[in-house]
Amino acid sequence: MSALLHKTTVLVLNRNWQAIHAKTPADAFCMMASGAATGLDVQGDDSIVPVKWDDWLKLPVRDEDQAVHTPRGIVRMPTVIVAANYAKVPLCRPRLGARGIWERDGGICQYTGRQLAPHEGNIDHIVPRSRGGATSWENCVLSHRDVNSKKGARLPQEVGLRLLRKPQVPKSVPASALIRNLHGVRDWQKFLGA
């Protein structure tokens, strides 16, 4: 059960109930115990009740709930908390990396225009690193593995390739757009809209 304490299964909302982050239950318990956050008791589709720490400790554990054994007894793990003193919706951009470039390029090979399955694509440095190319948003694109192999350490024009569009740094978006419900937590759907 302690492994569950360290998975990002708790959605963090600002005080306007907008999704801003995801945390582990261990982090959520610390925030709730210090008064920095309030837990939400999500009861089906119609009822969401804010619950302070002292009352959270007394909540019954339902069949569908994850719980942790403590010296005080069994305590339900929260799935959604509200940060008490935070009203902003932070703006951020995807991280530079395979997932960020995949999302920016929409899963499309930037040389062929073909929609790629995850196993078909990889990241191409337009100006190869061996020729001084940087690992940056402006120099990296999604490419079909075969195309990237063919290109190797050459420039696109040296092998007859042309980019569909010039790569750019993605625009900043609300943090909620980048939150992924990787563990399929049902209660998050009300706040992420998916």
CA-closest candidate to residue 103, choices 77, 127, 137 = 137
Q: How confident is the model at residue 176 (pLDDT cuts 50, 70, 90)?
A: confident
Does residue 194 have a pLDDT over 60? no
For residue 12, the one-letter residue type is V
- CA 130/CA 157 separation, integer angstroms: 16
Strand 173-174 and strand 91-92: pairing?
A: antiparallel
Residue whose token pair is 């050459």: 154
15-24, 84-93, 108-117: range with highest mean pLDDT: 108-117
CB 179 within 8 A of CB 11: yes
pLDDT at 178: 77
- Checking 125-129 for CB contacts under 8 A at 24+ apart, the result is 126/155, 126/156, 126/163, 126/167, 127/155, 128/152, 128/153, 128/154, 128/155
CATH hierarchy code of domain 98-159? 1.10.30.50
pLDDT tens digits, residue range 69-89? 888 789 999 999 999 988 887
Reduced to 3 states (helix: H, G, I; strand: E, B; else coil), residue 101 is helix
Sequence-distant (6+) residues with CB within 8 A of 189 are: 181
Spatial contact of 19 and 192, defined as CB atoms under 8 Å apart: yes
> Is the overall model pTM greater than 0.85, yes or no?
no
Burial of 89 (0-12, 13-18, 19+ CB in 10 A): middle
Would the pLDDT of 100 be above 70? yes
Q: Domain coordinates of the chain in residue numbers?
A: 2-91+174-192, 98-159
